[in-house]
Structure 1
């Protein structure tokens, strides 16, 4: 069990805010941290890792990582941390990057096998692709069999195919090692595929907490689907109006009425939903 009750004043580009999080996480859970940029997600990960200080309490199982009298340094916390930028040792081989953390060749060989990196064990990072580097970073994070694995949008720079592959590998390692995992992500499909619980932050506070299905599926009544997107363009085609909307990494076209076309403007964050076979588009 991880018990988090921390506070920290943050100074953002827009305004100052108080990061105030009080939550309990069961051992072995996979938690997705979601929310807009600047809501405090990465800072919370850094506090859990011991890279930043805060006031309050942090208990992991029977150990105190933080309270008014104690601050456990990062090197003593049983964590693995995977960043967006890999942070590998460029002068070391793939295998040596892992063994630098823990001199356990059997474990290193196993991790390289699971992530299909065995044949690249003697290569140096600058000869690897982005997806391969991220797999090395993941393996390195698992070398201490961490109680807590922290993932800060580790797959955001990868293409869809590679993201899906690494998501599967992350889930495999999470289950095999029984690690409690906390991941920052803005990708709904990634959150739905990996997480058992979603915690949404806004201005440093938890505003939503539940299962991926409860948090991400926003249909109601007789709606068949509901998606958020950005309105990119409204164009007139013959006698009808067509809205071009960006939803995730895809563009969709929706026929709208003349009244809807007049009420919407480019850049609007919109909700696209349908009842039966009649899609509707509503601006927030």
Structure 2
């Protein structure tokens, strides 16, 4: 099991990663997300031994890295998958996957499992982006690493390919039974693929939990906003049953950090319904057509802006009066009013 204890990385006087603590269980996929510059890639580089750490330790059992005892990358038994594939252009697919392997059987196994049999003698320059990434993953898995680090492996691929390849990668990791830390900018990718999600802000973990918990019970407003469209609806919390009374009706709540009294209710676009109504409680501010849905911003009569996603058949235009009602039955996160 990989354990990271109070890990910090400094570049000069700048703290890039501060007091990071996490454990990676057997065959677990941990997704790391956060804004640009929050320290995601630095964490991977530190775990791989590519940069020194300033404090704390990284422990895999058979080795332990500290500021005083740096373990070189080649002795960490770590696999890496990069966004730019990092394949040898002069070698065939088979040669890339089996590079420096005495026993070629693991290479054959992953070439077949990842659907690359027809490309064994092909060089990378003739492959598509998705095929190149499968080759890179096959090469990593064929070397039987103790854990794998993936640095935005799908960022160079088109949207349709990303959706299918993310599941191929997840299935391959689970089949191999190898734990992985996967860095991404794509919140949907993080929530759908990961067993757990870590949200970083300025080099610190804001929250580390299951995707559902991070999305439905975010530890902060930052996490709420980062993991999806978030609207904050003013309300009053009833301490007897944690219900929240708002301008759009009453909803069950989950108080965050012991919120009480005047609060803001976290409302996602799917938590609210919209109907055209001249006597409604808001007005369409803007609308975006998404194909199967329409995404609206509605300015309520009290000035609050609420974002809602409705069926594409539910057509309204900016300036139209509408009525919004909270329709969700599951508890919503509640934050102290700012």
- Taking structure 1 as the reference length, what is the TM-score of the superposition? 0.79
Q: Which has the higher contact order (CA 8 A, sep 6+)?
A: 1
Return the match for 2:326 from 266, 270, 275: 275
Partner Cα distance (2:136, 2:287) in 1:
38
Structure 1 residue runs of 5 or longer lacking an equivalent are 229-239, 265-269, 278-283
> What secondary structure is seen at the aligned counterpart in 1 of 2:268?
strand
1:9 correspondence with 2:30: no
1:226 corresponding residue in structure 2: 268
1:131 correspondence with 2:182: no
1:18/1:133 Cα in 2 relative to 1: closer, same or farther (>3 Å)? closer
1:31 corresponding residue in structure 2: 30
Deviation for aligned residue 1:78: 1.0
> What secondary structure is seen at the aligned counterpart in 1 of 2:74?
helix
Deviation for aligned residue 1:190: 1.7
> What secondary structure is seen at the aligned counterpart in 1 of 2:296?
strand
Deviation for aligned residue 1:227: 4.9
1:50/1:257 Cα in 2 relative to 1: closer, same or farther (>3 Å)? closer
Instruction: Give the conservation status (yes or no) of the 8 Å contact 1:83–1:153.
Output: yes
Deviation for aligned residue 1:255: 5.8
Deviation for aligned residue 1:258: 7.9
Return the match for 2:17 from 16, 19, 42: 19
Instruction: Give the conservation status (yes or no) of the 8 Å contact 2:287–2:297.
Output: no
Partner Cα distance (1:209, 1:227) in 2:
24
Structure 2 residue runs of 5 or longer lacking an equivalent are 218-229, 231-243, 245-250, 253-264, 271-282, 310-324, 329-337
Instruction: Give the conservation status (yes or no) of the 8 Å contact 2:31–2:182.
Output: yes
Deviation for aligned residue 1:177: 1.6
Partner Cα distance (1:31, 1:141) in 2:
17
Deviation for aligned residue 1:91: 0.6
Deviation for aligned residue 1:142: 1.0
Instruction: Give the conservation status (yes or no) of the 8 Å contact 2:28–2:180.
Output: yes
1:256 corresponding residue in structure 2: 298
1:97/1:66 Cα in 2 relative to 1: closer, same or farther (>3 Å)? same
Instruction: Give the conservation status (yes or no) of the 8 Å contact 2:16–2:42.
Output: no
- Taking structure 2 as the reference length, what is the TM-score of the superposition? 0.67
**RMSD value over aligned CA atoms?**
3.2
Partner Cα distance (1:97, 1:131) in 2:
16
1:250/1:143 Cα in 2 relative to 1: closer, same or farther (>3 Å)? farther
Partner Cα distance (1:102, 1:63) in 2:
22
2:76 corresponding residue in structure 1: 77
2:51 corresponding residue in structure 1: 52
> What secondary structure is seen at the aligned counterpart in 1 of 2:65?
strand
Deviation for aligned residue 1:242: 4.5
1:250/1:129 Cα in 2 relative to 1: closer, same or farther (>3 Å)? farther
1:234 corresponding residue in structure 2: none
Deviation for aligned residue 1:46: 0.6
1:179 correspondence with 2:178: yes
Return the match for 1:243 from 286, 289, 292: 286
> What secondary structure is seen at the aligned counterpart in 2 of 1:63?
coil
1:47/1:133 Cα in 2 relative to 1: closer, same or farther (>3 Å)? same
Deviation for aligned residue 1:82: 0.6
> What secondary structure is seen at the aligned counterpart in 1 of 2:134?
helix
Instruction: Give the conservation status (yes or no) of the 8 Å contact 1:155–1:163.
Output: yes
